[in-house]
Chains A and B, each alone.
Chain A
Amino acid sequence: MRPGTLWRLVGIAILVVACALAIYKLPMNLGLDLRGGTRMVLEARDTDTVKADEDAVVRAKEVIERRVNQLGVAEPVIYRQGAKRIVVELAGVKDPHRAREIIGRTAQLEFKDEQGNVIMTGNDLKNATAGPDEYGRPAVHFELTSEGARKFEKATRENIGRPISIYLDQELLSAPVVQSVIKDKGQITGIGSMERAKDLSMMLRAGALPVPLDLLHSEVLEPILGKESIDQSKVAAIIGAGLVVLFMLAVYRLPGVMADIALGVYGLIVLAVLASIHAVLTLPGIAGLILSVGMAVDANVIIFERIKEEMRGGKRLRAAIEAGFARAFGCILDSNVTTLITAGVLYIYGTGAVRGFAVTLGLGILASMFTAIVVTRVLITAVVDRNPERYAKYFGA
């Protein structure tokens, strides 16, 4: 073996080890279709009193971020889309349905007197916790800010013996009759379940949304479905890759072995890069990967056919391999650039899962070009260099 080839082999070995380490160490970032979760597109709406302007949308996004924090989701994705929209993606949230409920709710709390005058709102609350009231009914206990306490003290003094109504988003929760002057603490009942009391206290702590948000699009996927998808795609990937490997062995024999090894390297590279750029793996993304396994073989096929052709034209094996790789390169490049163009367009115009597909497809194409042009070549040279004439029959037509 020539020293150059040896060094290249060592380089590939290092690359393989590095990729394996990266896959082993870095967690794979799974999309919501693979582990359950929810995705929402919310749009801010004007009300009679508040306009859904830039400021309102910015504040709404902050409120959503606080609420998501309260939910304790590991890697929430919250971003703005256009002027009035906010997109929330919570992959891996345990109860996606409840998460959607908590995030989309305006949670505008209002205390009103008999005449309907607003005494105070959720903004005057300093803290809120859920717990049973003295009769064991679900309730939210709140503490007021100093300004809130001042307002509430004045209102309760003026309304002794009369009810104060508590509204959540215009829905009447309860209307307790004021027994005595209350300063800085109180409770809200009429909530229904303890679960709902917990959610409400959470929303009150995070604050109300400045404007109501309309839910334009929501997807909710239970984690069980995500797990099934992962299991099924694993089976599909193993069977698909297995069939491709067998096919290459059957059709191309020795070069086929090289191509199969290159395919293994290709798989390692793609997974390692996906993990290290924190790309989100989605179901269509996995489909893209499996698809690109088929396409990864293509570059090898082009090269092998080219080598055969060169040998038919009268070249010796070593020269044919040189010429085969050199000539196949332009062809591989041209054919792959067009697929890269579509992957790029998909990435720019796609949303959610389709974007994941674009990433894996694009990455797959780049990695397949690399493995076919570099890895397969080094492997073949390494084997053939010892005794070209002996191996010639494995490549010939």
Chain B
Amino acid sequence: MDIIGKRRMFLAISGILVAIGIIALLARGLNLGVDFTGGSLLRLRFERPVTASEVSKVLTSRELADLDLRKAVIQPIRGTCDVQVRAQVGGRPLNDEQVGRIVAALSQKIGQVSVIESQMVEGVIGRELLGRALMAVVIACVGIVIYVSLRFEFRFAVAAILALIHDVIIVLGAFALMGRQVNSPFIAAVLTIIGYSINDTIIIFDKIRENLRLRKKETLEELTNKSILQTMTRSLNTVITTLLAVFALFFFGGASIRDFSLALIIGLMTGTYSSIFIASPIWLEWRMWDRARQQRQAAAARTKQPGPAKVR
């Protein structure tokens, strides 16, 4: 299998995916959860499955008109009698009295209901949390670059980071496209993806490094391709076992963990893909470009100063 020979194609595919991701992010934006935007999140439990429009009708009814809940996001949780409601009143979370009125109106018109989970977040806390989350991602990346530069070389580190940015943009873009909620567990998922993607990339780089030491007469392309193929079984087996575990989480882990698992599923797949098809090609292109430049410089030096070496 010649992966390196087709590297331009894979780079192009990834370029397109990343572009789609960025456009999705810019056009649709992320559906940030209340822990980042501020506001209220209520999980209501009814005695029977309830549709979003049933709840919406009550929330926008005349008796709750002063709360202006038209922008409330209502999401029934599949396979349960629960409904999740996200709302703000005048840019602030609901207070207890307002929640009480909503519950009273719902139980009057739909039937017995109880609040089994509630989150109230003031905007200032949400912004802080978002700042901390971004900070965490940046610091993790810097830490990884430093470690990989020390153990390998700077080019490997940058290639690994590029592959990882590729993964993160695709996961974010997918969440933007699907309109899925982004909350603090999602940040944990993204950081896990970062860890996994790097981990996966390094296994391949480790092989390249080893083969470079034992290198005979092969070209750099051949060597890189061989290294990728040698680690391929490992890459696939590991992603399969990890995905088996995460799919179990997605299907059986309950609603609270579903978006988290979904982010991991997408991230693990792009992480494996980018380790195999993106990270090594980037490293290879860079290294070949560096060498070509060195040779050009050397050649230029030789033509400028025709020294005795040339005469001989």
Contact = CB atoms under 8 A, between A and B. Distances in A.
B264 A228 contact: no
Contacts, number: 213
Interface in A305-352: 305, 309, 330-331, 334-339, 341-346, 348-352
B261 interface: yes
Given A294-B245, A297-B241, A239 B252 contact: yes
A384 B87 CA distance: 63
Interface-centre pick from B116, B199, B206 (highest chain A CB count, 10 A): B199
B178 interface: no
A339 B241 contact: no
Contacts of B120: 215, 217-219
B122 interface: yes
A331 B206 contact: yes
A378 to B, nearest CB: 22
A236 interface: yes
B179 interface: no
A216 to B, nearest CB: 5
Interface in A339-370: 339, 341-346, 348-354, 357-358, 361
A221 interface: yes
Interface of B is mostly: helix
Nearest to A352: B184
Given A342-B191, A345-B139, A353-B184, A290 B245 contact: yes
Contact of B244 (A247, A283, A351): A247
A77 to B, nearest CB: 18
Contacts of B191: 342, 345-346
B254 interface: yes
B5 interface: no
A345 B234 contact: no
Contacts of A302: 203, 234
A354 B195 contact: no
Contacts of B231: 305
A330 B125 contact: no
B136 A225 contact: no
A298 interface: yes
- Chain A at the B interface: SS class: helix
Interface residues of A, number: 69
A346 B242 contact: no
A240 interface: yes
B107 interface: no
B198 A339 contact: yes
A341 B243 CA distance: 22
A212 to B, nearest CB: 15
Contacts of B196: 295, 339
Contact of B184 (A215, A235, A351): A351
A235 B114 CA distance: 26
Interface string A127-152: 00000000000000000000000000
A345 B252 contact: no
Contacts of A309: 230
Contact of B234 (A214, A293, A301, A352): A301
Contacts of A254: none
Residue among A290, A294, A346, A350 facing the most chain B CB atoms (10 A cut-off): A294
For A41, A236, A338, A345, the residue with the greatest tally of chain B CB atoms inside 10 Å of its CB is: A338
B260 A284 contact: yes
Nearest to B242: A294
For A41, A302, A349, the residue with the greatest tally of chain B CB atoms inside 10 Å of its CB is A349
B118 interface: yes
A233 B244 contact: no
A229 interface: yes
Contact of A240 (B202, B238, B248, B254): B248
Contacts of A337: 147
Contacts of B252: 232, 235-236, 239
Contact of A338 (B118, B136, B199): B199
A277 interface: no
Given A222-B117, A284-B188, A287-B261, A244 B241 contact: yes
Contact of B238 (A222, A236, A297, A334): A297
Contacts of A237: 248
Contacts of A345: 136, 139-140, 143, 191
Contacts of A124: none
B132 interface: yes
A302 B203 CA distance: 9
A220 B117 contact: yes
B133 A349 contact: yes
B195 A342 contact: yes
28 contacts: A97-B115, A217-B121, A225-B43, A232-B252, A233-B249, A236-B249, A236-B253, A237-B248, A243-B244, A247-B240, A287-B257, A293-B245, A294-B246, A295-B199, A301-B234, A301-B241, A305-B233, A335-B202, A335-B206, A338-B195, A338-B199, A341-B144, A342-B144, A345-B139, A346-B188, A348-B136, A349-B136, A350-B184
Closest 8 CB pairs of A and B: A294-B242, A240-B248, A232-B254, A339-B195, A349-B136, A342-B195, A240-B245, A294-B245
Given A215-B120, A301-B238, A350-B187, 15 more contacts: A235-B252, A240-B244, A247-B237, A283-B257, A288-B188, A290-B248, A294-B238, A294-B242, A298-B238, A309-B230, A338-B147, A338-B199, A341-B195, A346-B140, A349-B135
